[in-house]
């Protein structure tokens, strides 16, 4: 299997994030995640690592607002120029606004902090000097994997960092800046019908946002119920698309403590929907924070069930672009990913 990966991700490593209650903690979405996955995959005889191609900005701007992308490109430099404390010790800082837009009357402000609150949804989407270039490289990993799946009619793995499925058309959120899965799915949609299946613990709100009014891309997300879990305001069962996209989105919100069997029931329903849609390509947002013991999840999935999850999805017999999303139990992350994707080899 072709694995697309870039060392550029290491330049995105904020010194902290802010949890509920104002608690400042080390950044969970850190480079060690990639090291654990790479270590596990290098022990196989089927992982073939490749550098991503540079697809330019056009595929990204096809799903993201230009003003938002311009903000990502310039935010750190603007902040560095405007704040002497940051200029003196940039390694101790991350760009985060203190005020966030409610979006009732969307109007991007002109000031940097105003734009930050408009284009960022939460306090985990921290921006540092290397964030934008890392996000571009991550998107290019996804596009390279999609291109490989299209050209060779096989499955591929984009080892993306930062992840992407929480990033909407014009906002960063939940460690995500560019929606890698959406960029890949939109690129593939020019080649045929596409389904996106998101198996991350948290709802793929950004992917839902981007495709919600489209009927050429089916989007499905299996996740912790937003009644108790991030992102709280999106991912409910009654959100099924709008306009031309009505009926082309499906959420499976599951309760805290969900284990292997009820999760597989939701997965089987998802796969039936995908078969009925008859896509030419599948994009799989693969988050391993469903694992029992993940510090940012409450599901109780065992390592053994990932083999069944991978096997069932692979049985769709579709060229599948697998996109790395979340998963923060770093000691188990590499092995869980290896177990999941070996069914596609």
Dihedral (Cα; 32, 1, 146, 193), 10-degree rounding = -130
Q: Is the pLDDT of residue 200 over 80?
A: yes
Q: In what order do the strands lie in the sheet with 2-4?
A: 48-50, 2-4, 156-158, 320-324, 281-286, 194-198, 217-224, 249-254
Whole-number Å distance between alpha carbons of 25 and 70: 29
Helix or strand run (H / E) with residue 3: strand 2-4
In-domain check, residue 195: yes
pLDDT (tens digit, 9 = 90+) per residue, 118-176? Answer: 999 999 999 999 999 999 999 999 999 999 999 999 999 999 999 999 999 999 999 99
In-domain check, residue 104: no
Q: Is the pLDDT of residue 253 over 90?
A: yes
Nearest by Cα to 246 from 206, 225, 281, 219: 219
* String of DSSP letters for 33-50: HHHHHHHHHHTSSS-EEE
CATH of the domain at 143: 3.40.800.20
pLDDT in the model for residue 287? 98
In-domain check, residue 263: yes
pLDDT (tens digit, 9 = 90+) per residue, 45-76? Answer: 999 999 999 999 999 999 999 999 999 999 99
In-domain check, residue 17: yes
Question: Helix, strand, or coil here: 257?
Answer: coil
Tokens found for residue 69: 């992308």
In-domain check, residue 308: yes
Model confidence pTM above 0.95: yes
| Residue 48 CB partners (closer than 8 Å, separation 6+) | 1, 2, 3
**Annotated active-site positions, please?**
166
In-domain check, residue 281: yes
Contact yes or no for 22/176 (Cβ under 8 A): no
pLDDT (tens digit, 9 = 90+) per residue, 282-341? Answer: 999 999 999 999 999 999 999 999 999 999 999 999 999 999 999 999 999 999 999 999
Q: Is the pLDDT of residue 246 over 80?
A: yes
Q: What residue has token string 């947002």?
A: 285
Confidence of residue 259 (pLDDT cuts 50, 70, 90): very high
Q: Which domain holds residue 18?
A: 2-64+130-344
Whole-number Å distance between alpha carbons of 115 and 137: 23
pLDDT in the model for residue 327? 98
pLDDT in the model for residue 103? 78
In-domain check, residue 182: yes
Tokens found for residue 52: 């991503």
Mean pLDDT of 204-213: 98
Contact yes or no for 119/127 (Cβ under 8 A): no
In-domain check, residue 43: yes
pLDDT (tens digit, 9 = 90+) per residue, 72-110? Answer: 999 999 999 999 999 999 999 999 999 999 877 778 899
How many domains are there within the chain? 1
Tokens found for residue 51: 């550098």
């Amino acid at each position: 299997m072709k694995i697309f990966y870039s060392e550029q991700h290491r330049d995105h490593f904020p010194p902290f994030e802010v949890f509920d209650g104002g608690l400042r903690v080390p950044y969970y979405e850190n480079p060690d995640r990639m090291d654990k996955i790479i270590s596990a995959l290098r022990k196989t005889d089927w992982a073939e690592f490749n550098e991503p191609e540079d697809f330019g900005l056009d595929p990204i701007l096809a799903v993201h607002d230009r003003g938002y992308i311009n903000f990502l490109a310039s935010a750190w430099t603007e902040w560095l120029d405007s704040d002497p404390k940051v200029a003196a010790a940039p390694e101790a800082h991350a760009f985060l606004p203190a005020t966030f837009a409610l979006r009732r009357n969307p109007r991007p402000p002109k000031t940097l902090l105003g734009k930050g609150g408009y284009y960022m949804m939460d306090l985990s989407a921290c921006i540092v000097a290397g964030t934008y270039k890392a996000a571009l490289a991550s998107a290019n990993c996804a596009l390279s994997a999609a291109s490989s799946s299209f050209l060779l009619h096989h499955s591929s793995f984009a080892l993306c960092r930062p992840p992407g499925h929480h990033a909407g058309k014009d906002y960063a959120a939940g460690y995500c800046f560019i929606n890698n899965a959406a960029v890949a799915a939109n690129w593939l949609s020019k080649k045929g019908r596409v389904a996106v299946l998101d198996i991350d613990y948290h709802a793929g709100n950004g992917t839902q946002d981007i495709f919600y009014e489209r009927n050429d891309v089916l989007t499905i997300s299996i996740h912790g119920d937003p009644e108790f879990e991030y992102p709280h305001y999106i991912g409910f069962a009654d959100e099924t698309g709008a306009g031309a996209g009505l009926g082309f989105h499906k959420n499976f919100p599951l309760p805290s403590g969900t284990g292997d069997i009820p999760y597989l029931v939701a997965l089987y329903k998802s796969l039936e929907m995908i078969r009925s849609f008859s896509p030419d390509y599948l994009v799989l947002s693969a988050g391993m924070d469903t694992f029992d013991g993940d510090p940012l999840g409450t599901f109780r999935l065992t390592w053994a069930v990932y083999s069944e999850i991978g096997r069932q999805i692979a049985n769709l017999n579709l060229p599948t672009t697998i996109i790395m999303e979340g998963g923060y139990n770093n000691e188990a992350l590499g092995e869980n990913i290896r177990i999941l994707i070996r069914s596609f080899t």
